[in-house]
Amino acid sequence: MCADYHSENLTKKISPVYHRIHNRFIGNFSLKIKANQSIPQVIDKIKNDWNLITDNAAFSFTFLDENVQKGYDAYKRWMQTVTASCLLAIIIASLGLF
């Protein structure tokens, strides 16, 4: 069993999470691959097990580090937009002083 972990982005508090497999609702699952294992072999094994459990439901995967990076890229873009807007507002307000 894992200790508490972030199931959402790192700006949110750690919240309780549970996982289950149901053949009518298939969500997302996070799996940890041990160090020094062949990733393609492990993915093939996971896919085979997935097909057995879900009766060949669609299988797709992503890597957590890539998902986290995408989330923070969007966050950085948003922060740049907010910063630029604030700077523009300060410049416009300063023009009123002169």
7 CB contacts (<8 Å, ≥6 apart)? Answer: 14, 15, 17, 30
Q: Where are the domains of the chain?
A: 1-61, 68-98
pTM, whole model, 2 decimals?
0.52
Encode pLDDT of 10-67 as tens digits. 778 888 877 776 666 666 777 888 889 999 999 999 999 988 888 888 888 998 888 8
| DSSP symbol at 48 | H
15 touches 5 (CB < 8 A): no
